[in-house]
Amino acid sequence: MTKAQGGWIRRYRAAPEAGVQVVCLPHAGGSATYFRPMAMALSPTAEVLAVQYPGRMDRVDEPHAGDFEELTERTLAAVRRAADRPVALFGHSMGALLAFQVARRLEAEGVVPLALFASGAQPPGRSLARHTHPRTDEELLADLAMLGGTDERLLDHPDMRGLVLSALRADYRILRSRRRDDATLACPVVSLTGDRDPVVAVDDAAAWAQHTTGRFDLHVFPGEHFYLDDHWAGVSAVVTRHLGAHEPAPAK
Catalytic sites, residue numbers? 93, 225
Alpha-carbon distance 200 to 197, whole Å? 5
Residue type, 185: L
- Amino acid 106 reads L
CB atoms within 10 A of CB 232: 15
Among residues 195, 126, 133, 203, which one has the least CA distance to residue 168? 133
Give the helix/strand (H/E) hosting 141: helix 137-147
Determine if the peptide bond prior to 44 is cis (ω within 30°).
Answer: yes
H/E run at residue 102: helix 94-108
